[in-house]
Structure formats: structure tokens, C-alpha cells
Amino acid sequence: MIRSATPADVVAIADLESDALGVDAWSEGLVREGVEGNLPTVHYVVADDDGLAGYAVASVVADIAELQRIAVRGDRRRGGVATELLDAVVSLASDGGADRLLLEVRDTNAPALAFYAARGFVEVDRRPRYYRDGSPAVVMRRALGPACGGG
């Protein structure tokens, strides 16, 4: 079941964030700020299957939405959880008036690049030295509305 995150989810989200993203992980305090609504454009959704299976974070500002994070617990990968989370983010972005959804992904993360491409994302740019270790990011976009070639 996909639902909005609640303060009761913060520790589990922060733990999965740390496991999935290592040195690039956000702190528990930052996660708490977002989940509790103290960052007005930020939305957290979770996949809840008798415990946290995964989460996604999106920011929606006017006509642009950004998928900031998506992570799935190791034992739940390749089971459709990421697709369900991404679908929820697309709905959230569309409902919020966004006509495009952007994201960045490490250029060496072939499975993620393929996952996003299969779901309508296209590469639009590259960001050198984007990650803490100096790795570049691929910027991808999915059109959501007619103003951006979708809809």
C-alpha cells in the first residue's frame, strides 16, 4: 500500500536512506523536517507492507516536480515497489500542477537508468561532480503535461 509518510515512519525512512545512499544520505533530522511538513514543497510517500518496504521523496514547485529520492528495501527489490512509488510521485506531481518530472541518477547506475527509461524518462543533461565522491549525474525528464510534450 502506498501512502503519505507520517512521523512514525521517520526512523525507518532514515535507516533505509542510510543503507541505500551511504555518504549521500540525508540525516534523520532532515527526513523528519520533510515528513512533518516543515519543507512546504517536499512530499514523502511510503510503500507500507507490514513495515516500510520503500519510500520516495518529491518536490513540486509550480510546473516542475523533482523526484529527489526513491529507495526500496533490499529484500523487496524487483517486486514492483519502486514502480508503485514512482506512479504515486507522478500522480502527486500531476495533481500539483507539474508538467514535467525531473530526477538525477548516478551515471554508472545502469539498472536505475534502464528503470527510468522504461517509464518514459529521457536524458536531458549531465551534472559533473554531482555526488560527494565526484561522480557525475544524469538528469532525466518525464513529460507530464502538454506544455512539456506529454499528457
Q: Check which CATH number belongs to the domain holding 92 and give it.
A: 3.40.630.30
Mean pLDDT over 89-103 rounds to: 95
Give the type of residue at 32.
R
What is the residue range of 10's domain?
A: 2-148
pTM given for the model = 0.90
Q: CB neighbours (10 Å) of residue 43?
A: 23
The number of distinct structural domains making up the chain is 1
pLDDT band, residue 28 (cuts 50/70/90):
very high
How far apart are the C-alpha atoms of 35 and 142, rounded to whole Å?
25
What pLDDT is stored for residue 91 in this prediction? Answer: 96
In terms of Cα–Cα distance, which of 41, 25, 24 is closest to 33?
Answer: 41
Sign of CA dihedral 3, 73, 143, 98: positive
Q: What is the pLDDT of residue 23?
A: 86
